[in-house]
Amino acid sequence: MTYQTINPNDDVLIKSFPEHSDEQMEEIIARAQSTYENDWSRKTLAERRTILKKAASILREDVTNLPNPSLSRWANYSGKRGAKWTQCRHPGLLRR
C-alpha cells in the first residue's frame, strides 16, 4: 500500500508515495545521520540561518499553491503574526 496525500475538501488524490522497506529506511536514516555529523553540525549559525531562510521561503511558496484555502492563507501572513504561527507549529525547528 502506498501513502497518499488527499485533499480534505473534495477527497481528490493529490499525490501517492511508495512505501519503503525496513532496509531502505535504515539506509535513509544512516544517510541523514551522516549528513548531520559531516556537514550540518559543522556549519556556522549564520550558514544555517541562510539555509533555513531559503527553505522557509520555498515552503511558503509551496503552501500558497495548496488547493486548500485554509492552509494557503498562512503563507500570506508576514511579520510577527506569521512568525508566531510558525513558532507554534514548529517550535523545535526554530528553537534549536
The domain locations on the chain are 1-42, 46-96
Q: What is the pLDDT of residue 11?
A: 84
Give residue-wise pLDDT tens across range 75-95: 555 444 444 444 444 444 444
Q: What is the pLDDT of residue 33?
A: 96
Q: What are phi and psi of 7, to 5 degrees?
A: -65, 120
Give residue-wise pLDDT tens across range 3-42: 888 888 888 888 888 888 999 999 999 999 999 999 999 9
Q: What is the pLDDT of residue 1?
A: 67
Instruction: Identify the bridge partners of residue 4 per DSSP, sorted by sequence position.
Output: 16
Q: Rounded to two decimals, what is the model's pTM?
A: 0.50
CA distance between the termini of the chain:
35
Query: pLDDT at residue 71 above 60?
Result: no
Find where cell 531562510 sits.
53
Give residue-wise pLDDT tens across range 38-60: 999 999 999 999 999 999 988 88
